[in-house]
Amino acid sequence: QMGLGHEQGFGAPCLKCKDKCEGFELHFWRKICRNCKCGQEEHDILTSNEEDRKVGKLFEDTKYTTLIAKLKNDGIPMYKRNVMILTNPVPAKKNISINTVTYEWAPPVQNQTLARQYMQMLPKEKQPVAGSEGAQYRKKQLAKQLPAHDQDPSKCHELSPNEVKQMEQFVKKYKTEALGVGDVKLPGEVEMRATEKSNVKNGDRGASAAVGAMEDKSPDQKASQY
């Protein structure tokens, strides 16, 4: 189901209703959410630019700083999101038109052919193709999995100076101990690594290995796409 040209903010969590709202969905003609009836402004709506800042902040002061760039004017870390544009020449009747597909995010891996393969193996409705249901799905996941108040004390409600200090320590801790970035490997490579690790000889691992193996070291094993 596609949005009607007002995808802006789709899926953003409601700050008032929290989990009770499934995510912002603009009412056709009123400026409210179809899910919870709160106003658009009650929802944590972020533009792509703001999202990249959020992920940039996540990777700041970690071993993943190659994934971010600091803006010259304000020094704010921005996620260097891998936007992948594929072009396919389509033979039309007279001239050749170019058919392009833009993935709003692709894995930040060296081998972009592999990254493309990975994207194409995702279910259609989860491929973050610009303007599609999949792009909205990605935004929604990002809003859910990385709420601003999980890493920014100023986004929390009235913390005491001591609580701010504790939170900063907590953020530091999960950045060093839990933060990970997914990798994409071919089935053969995944199998080899699995064998090295466990030395298990039985089973038909080869058949079940997936191309897109997401390595995620977060304690709750959520597969995150940053």
Residues of the shown chain interacting with Zn ion in the complex, contacts defined by CB under 5 A? 14, 16-17, 21, 33, 35-36, 38
Pick 26 or 115: Cβ nearer Zn ion: 26
Q: Running DSSP on this structure, what letter comes out for residue 9? A: T
Pick 16 or 172: Cβ nearer Zn ion: 16
Pick 140 or 205: Cβ nearer Zn ion: 140
Pick 33 or 209: Cβ nearer Zn ion: 33
Burial of 139 (0-12, 13-18, 19+ CB in 10 A): buried
| Amino acid symbol at 21 | C
Q: What length does the chain have?
A: 226
Pick 42 or 52: Cβ nearer Zn ion: 42
Residue 90, classed as helix, strand or coil, is strand
Burial of 197 (0-12, 13-18, 19+ CB in 10 A): exposed
Q: How far is the CB of 82 from Zn ion (least distance, A)?
A: 30
Q: How far apart are CA 184 and CA 127, in angstroms?
A: 16
Q: How far is the CB of 42 from Zn ion (least distance, A)?
A: 5
Pick 21 or 84: Cβ nearer Zn ion: 21
Q: How far is the CB of 36 from Zn ion (least distance, A)?
A: 3
Q: How far is the CB of 9 from Zn ion (least distance, A)?
A: 10
Q: How far is the CB of 188 from Zn ion (least distance, A)?
A: 45
Query: How far lies 32's CA from each of 8, 37, 48, 142, 188, in Å?
Result: 13, 6, 21, 22, 50
State the first-to-last Cα distance of the chain, in angstroms, to the nearest integer: 24
**Run of H or E residues at 98:** strand 96-103
Q: How far apart are CA 75 and CA 96, in angstroms?
A: 44
